[in-house]
Chains A and B, each alone.
Chain A
Amino acid sequence: MHKKQFSTPPRRVALFVTCMVDMIYPEVGMATAELLERHGVEVVFPYEQTCCGQPAFNAGYRDEARLLAHRFIEIFEPFLQQGLVDAIVVPSGSCATMVSHFYAAALFEEATDTAVRQRAEALAAVTFELTEFLVDVLGVTTTNSRFAGKLTYHACCHLLRELKIDEQPRQLLAAIEGAEMVELTGAEECCGFGGLFALKNANISTAMGQRKTRHLAESGADVVALCDVSCMTHINGLLSRQAQRCRAVHIAEVLNSQVDVAVAPPTVAPSAPEKRSRRWQDQKTK
C-alpha cells in the first residue's frame, strides 16, 4: 500500500462516512467532520456514496463486491481528479481496508482489469483511516480533547493487522486531558464480530465477545474507544445486554470531547424473560 506523501497538508477531504455510520450512528460522522474541521480541513460529503462492498466481499460474493467497488471509484474519483479534494477520510478501519487494500488486491485482476486496478490503486494512495489521517498526514499530536474518566482502547482487527495502524489512535487517546488510560487485557484480540460470522456462527461470536466484555469489566474502564462502529455495535450489544457500565465509543466522539461519563448510561436490567400471565395455561393446570 503506497500512501501519497503530501508536500502541503491537504485542505479539503471527501468523507466516506460508511453506511453504518450514515444510517445508525450519524453522530460519529458529525464528530469525524468536526474533528477534521477543527484541524483546518474542509469536509466534503459526496451524497451518492453508499457501501464499500465489504459485506459482499467477506461473504465470497466478489462479483457483487466488484459492482460496489466500481461504483465507489466512480463516485469518489471525480472529486480527486477535479482537485475538489486531496484525500478521502474514513472513520472505519475495516472499510478503509476494503477501499485501500482489497479493491486493488483482490477485486481487480492485474491482467484482466488493468485500468480499473490502476484507478483503485490511485484511490488507495489517498484513502486514509481517520486517526491515520490526523497523525500521519496532518501531523496532529493532540486533539486538545478532554475526558473525565477511565479510558481504554480496543484495537480493531483490520485496522491493526491489515492497515497496521495502532500507534496513531493510541497516541491521540493518550494526549486527552483528564483521561486515565487503563490497560485492557487482550486489547488486540478480535471482539468476535466478523460481519456475517456474528450470525452464521452466533454462539462462537458471542463467546468471543463475552471474553472481550469480561476483560473490559476487569479493566475498570468507563469507555473503550475504538475505530470501527461494527466492532462497537458488537461490544455494546453485549455490554448493554449484560447491563455493564462500560461502553464502547467511536474514537471520533471521544476525541471530539463528546463523551460524558458523569452521566451514567441508562441502566438496562438484564433481560430475564418477561413473565406474562398466561391464562389459558393456568386454567389447564387447574
Chain B
Amino acid sequence: MTTSVIDLHAPYKERVADALNNKHLKTALNRSTVRMSAQRISAMGAVDGQTLRNQVRQMKEHVIANLPDLLEQLESNIQANGGQVHWAQDGAEVNRIVLEIARKANVQKVIKSKSMATEEVHLNDALEAAGMQVVETDLGEYIIQLNHEPPSHIVAPVIHRRLEDIAQIMQDKLDMPPTLDPEVMCAVARVKLREEFLKADMGVSGCNFAIAETGTICTVTNEGNGRMTSGMPRVYVVIMGIEKIVPTPEDAFLQYQALCRSATGQNFSVYLSMTSSPRQPGDADGPEEFHVVLLDNGRTDMLEKGYGEALMCIRCGACLNVCPVYREIGGHAYGSTYSGPIGAVISPILHTDVTNSEKLPHASTLCGACREACPVKIDLPRLLLDLRSDQVQAEQGSWFDKVAMQGFVQTMTSRARYENAGKLASVGSNLLAGLTGGNIKFMPPPLTAWTNSRNFPPFAKHSFRELWQERTSRRKEISGERTTPPAP
C-alpha cells in the first residue's frame, strides 16, 4: 500500500502533523532534496554562478519595472504571428476562457504538459466537469494524476513519493508487472502516453518564459512531452502567469541557463520547446489554433503591496530543496500549489483558496538558505518578515501574540522592569528546574510546546549585570581606582 495522502484543505496544524508522521514521506524527501541541492551547487559552480545570478536578477528587475509594456509587446507579437491572446483576471476567468476555446473546437480529449499555473486555477477540474478527459503527460504529473494527488513541488511533482510507492501506484493503476527499475517503469508510461498524444484534440501547457520581442512561448522539459503537447493536437493553449516574461531571446537564454542549473542541476534540459505561431501554410505539423492566456490572479496585487520581488521567481524549486522546513514537511503541508519559501510568500497574496494561508509566513526560521540558493537572489526571509509585519498592521495577528508582545516591550523598555522580571524568572525557573534535576522539563502552556520535546535551562541565579557590578567593585577595591570609565 502506498502512504496516505495529506488533505490540502485540512487545518495547517493537521497537515503538518500528518506530514511529520509520514515515514515514507521523510525518506522520499531526504533522498531527493539533498541530491537536487547538491546537483544545483555543482551545476552553478561549473559556471560563474554569481555572475549568472547577478545578470538574471538585473534582467528580472527590468522585467518587473516594465511589466505592462512587455506584456503588450508580447500580445501584439503573438497576434501578429496569428495566435490569440486572452487576459484573465483570476482562476475562474482562465477556466471560462479555456472551456470556451475547447467548446468551439469541439474538444473531447486534452493532454497537458506540466504547468503550475493550471494547478493554481484548478483547470483540470473545470475541464473534467465539462465532460472532457484530461491527461497529464509529464511523468511525475502523470503518476500523481493516477493517484489523484496534487503536485508537491514546483519542479518535481511527485517528490513526496519514494520509488517503491511510485511502482506500487503504477502496478495498481496500469497493471504494470512488479518492478523497481525506473527504465521499465518509464517504458510502461511511455506506451500509455503515446496513445493519449495521438488521440488528443487540445494541448495545454504552462510557460517557463515568453519572449516579448518575438512573441514566443518557451517550455522546458526533459521528456519531450512539452513538444508533443504543443505540436500534435489541433489546438494549443498556454496558461502563463504575467510575470513569466523576458524581453529578448538573449534574456530567454539567460533565464534558461539559470533555470536548468538551479532546478535540476543540468547544464541544459533535454528539450526546450518554442512556439511562436499556429501552423503556417507549408508546415508539416503544429496546431491549427494557438492561444495564450495571461493570468493575473493576484500578481498585480503583489506588485502593489510591495512584494514585486516575488514576481521575479523563475520557479526553479531551488529554495524548496534547501529549505529545512520543506525538507521536514514536504509540499502538501503548505496546502497550496506553491510550497516552500516562495510558496509561503506568494500563497497568502495570490487569489487562491488556501486553508490557513496566514500561517505560512510563520513556517520559517528565517535561516536564509533559500536566498542563498535562489538564482534570482530573491530576499525570501525579508519578504516573510514583511508579510508578518503586514499581518500585525492589519490586526490579523493572534490576540495572544499581541498581548505577549506588549508585555515584552513593556518589560524591555525599562531597566528596572527588566531586572525585576529577570529576578522573577530566575526564582520561578529554578523552582521548576529543581523539580526535575537541573533542567526544566515542564513549563506551563504555551511554553509546553517547548518542553514537550526539549529541556530548558533555568535562568541564572545571578545575572551578568550583577556579576559584572560585583567584579567591577571588587577590582576598584583591589586597585583603589576606577578601571571603567564613568557612564555618560
Asked if B388 and A59 sit within 8 Å, CB to CB, the answer is: yes
B105 in contact (CB, < 8 A): no
Partner pick for B415 among A47, A68, A194, A201, CB 8 A cutoff: A47
Mark interface residues in B359-398 (1 if CB within 8 Å of A CB, else 0). 0001111111101100000000010010111111000010
Asked if B484 and A44 sit within 8 Å, CB to CB, the answer is: yes
B106 in contact (CB, < 8 A): no
A197 cross-chain contacts in B, Cβ below 8 A: 362, 364-365
Asked if B449 and A199 sit within 8 Å, CB to CB, the answer is: yes
Asked if B454 and A209 sit within 8 Å, CB to CB, the answer is: yes
Interface-centre pick from A22, A58, A192, A241 (highest chain B CB count, 10 A): A22
- Report how far A19 CA is from B419 CA in the complex, Å: 10
Asked if A192 and B324 sit within 8 Å, CB to CB, the answer is: yes
Chain A nearest CB from B369 CB (Å) reads 7
Chain A nearest CB from B422 CB (Å) reads 5
A64 cross-chain contacts in B, Cβ below 8 A: 405-406, 408-409
A133 in contact (CB, < 8 A): no
- Known: A23-B460, A58-B385, A238-B453. Contact between A30 and B467, CB under 8 A? yes
- Report how far A193 CA is from B324 CA in the complex, Å: 11
Chain A nearest CB from B452 CB (Å) reads 7
Chain A nearest CB from B402 CB (Å) reads 8
- Report how far A201 CA is from B334 CA in the complex, Å: 13
B454 cross-chain contacts in A, Cβ below 8 A: 206, 209, 234, 237-238, 241
Mark interface residues in A54-94 (1 if CB within 8 Å of B CB, else 0). 01111111101001100100000011001010000000000
Interface-centre pick from B364, B436, B437, B463 (highest chain A CB count, 10 A): B463
Chain B nearest CB from A53 CB (Å) reads 8
A17 in contact (CB, < 8 A): yes
- Report how far A199 CA is from B362 CA in the complex, Å: 11
Partner pick for A157 among B16, B367, B436, B450, CB 8 A cutoff: B367
Residue of A nearest to B371 (CB): A161
B282 in contact (CB, < 8 A): no
Residue of A nearest to B468 (CB): A45
A168 in contact (CB, < 8 A): no
Asked if A268 and B439 sit within 8 Å, CB to CB, the answer is: yes
- Known: A22-B464, A62-B392, A199-B447. Contact between A157 and B365, CB under 8 A? yes
A50 in contact (CB, < 8 A): yes
Asked if A59 and B401 sit within 8 Å, CB to CB, the answer is: yes
- Known: A21-B464, A68-B413, A241-B453. Contact between A50 and B418, CB under 8 A? yes
B459 in contact (CB, < 8 A): yes
Chain B nearest CB from A227 CB (Å) reads 15
- Known: A26-B463, A50-B415, A161-B369. Contact between A236 and B20, CB under 8 A? no
Asked if A23 and B368 sit within 8 Å, CB to CB, the answer is: no
A202 in contact (CB, < 8 A): yes
- Report how far A68 CA is from B447 CA in the complex, Å: 24
Mark interface residues in B407-420 (1 if CB within 8 Å of A CB, else 0). 01101111100100
Interface size class of B (residues with CB under 8 A): 35 or more
A61 cross-chain contacts in B, Cβ below 8 A: 389, 392, 397, 405, 409
- Report how far A78 CA is from B324 CA in the complex, Å: 41
Asked if B367 and A190 sit within 8 Å, CB to CB, the answer is: yes
- Known: A50-B412, A157-B365. Contact between A60 and B418, CB under 8 A? no
B426 in contact (CB, < 8 A): yes
Asked if B487 and A46 sit within 8 Å, CB to CB, the answer is: yes
- Report how far A25 CA is from B391 CA in the complex, Å: 33
A190 cross-chain contacts in B, Cβ below 8 A: 324, 365, 367, 369
- Known: A42-B483, A59-B388, A199-B447. Contact between A29 and B328, CB under 8 A? no
B437 cross-chain contacts in A, Cβ below 8 A: 266, 268
B438 cross-chain contacts in A, Cβ below 8 A: 266, 268
| Interface hits, B425-462 → A, CB 8 Å | 425-426, 436-439, 441, 446-447, 449-450, 452-460, 462
| Interface hits, A190-235 → B, CB 8 Å | 190, 192-209, 211, 233-234
- Known: A26-B463, A161-B372. Contact between A200 and B456, CB under 8 A? no
Asked if B464 and A271 sit within 8 Å, CB to CB, the answer is: no
Mark interface residues in B127-156 (1 if CB within 8 Å of A CB, else 0). 000000000000000000000000000000
Asked if B385 and A106 sit within 8 Å, CB to CB, the answer is: yes
A162 in contact (CB, < 8 A): yes
Asked if B413 and A204 sit within 8 Å, CB to CB, the answer is: no
| Interface hits, B319-338 → A, CB 8 Å | 324-325, 328-329
Asked if B408 and A55 sit within 8 Å, CB to CB, the answer is: yes
- Report how far A211 CA is from B446 CA in the complex, Å: 24
B405 cross-chain contacts in A, Cβ below 8 A: 56, 59, 61, 64
| Interface hits, A9-65 → B, CB 8 Å | 12, 17, 19, 21-27, 29-30, 33, 42-48, 50-51, 53, 55-62, 64
- Known: A71-B413, A199-B450. Contact between A26 and B467, CB under 8 A? yes
Query: A-side interface residues toward B, CB under 8 Å?
Result: 12, 17, 19, 21-27, 29-30, 33, 42-48, 50-51, 53, 55-62, 64, 67-68, 71, 78-79, 82, 84, 106, 157-158, 160-162, 188-190, 192-209, 211, 233-234, 236-238, 240-241, 266, 268, 271
Q: List 26 A-B contacts (CB under 8 A).
A: A17-B464, A22-B463, A23-B422, A24-B458, A27-B460, A30-B464, A58-B366, A59-B397, A59-B405, A62-B392, A64-B406, A71-B412, A161-B371, A189-B367, A194-B365, A198-B450, A199-B446, A201-B16, A201-B362, A202-B453, A208-B324, A237-B454, A238-B453, A241-B454, A266-B437, A271-B436
Given A56-B405, A203-B20, 14 extra CB contacts under 8 A: A22-B464, A30-B464, A50-B411, A53-B412, A56-B409, A58-B385, A62-B392, A68-B412, A71-B413, A84-B485, A194-B366, A194-B367, A199-B446, A203-B16
